[in-house]
Amino acid sequence: MSRKFVRAIFPGSFDPITNGHLDVIKRGVKLFGELIIAVGRSPIKNPLFTPEERVEIIAELIKDMPGVSVEGFERLTVEYAAEKKADVILRGLRSLTDVQYEFQLAMTNRSVTGIETVFIMTSEEYGFTSSTLIRQIASLGGDISNLVPESVYKRIKEQLKK
């Protein structure tokens, strides 16, 4: 039986990208023919990294992952997905709170554009992590070295010195 080629986008602000995000990417790439990590403009007032820096950071992390790419976007996720001819939107789930929010978003996206959403539960060790929490801990001098890739940890430390 032949498998259908499926292109997925994994949208988010990724400010910063976490080990939880990478877990979803590594598991998602096994499911799809192509996975585009879509770095959106964050509504956060004080982002840690610019969207361009986030794309650069992620590009370095995924350079050895066939079928995975990263780029920025500045419009509705469903518009971006349509432009990329994506079959699905990939989302990671950490908690019941995520499920409620993501369910509503997935239903709206499907109702408006017909695009499906595929959810991957994050691994247990990343279920509590969020980029917001990591930014807060880092800004207060806490140790986040086990929550983000080593290269990201170094970039965060450099960024906070500025």
Q: Which residues are catalytic?
A: 21, 45, 94, 131
Whether residue 145 contacts residue 153, with contact meaning beta carbons closer than 8 Å, is answered with: yes
Sequence-distant (6+) residues with CB within 8 A of 155 are: 16, 49, 53, 57
Amino acid at residue number 88 = V
Residues 59, 25 contacting (CB under 8 angstroms): no
Residue environment code for 80-110, b if the CB has 16+ CB neighbours within 10 A, otherwise e:
bbeebebbbbbbbbbeeebeeebeeebeebe
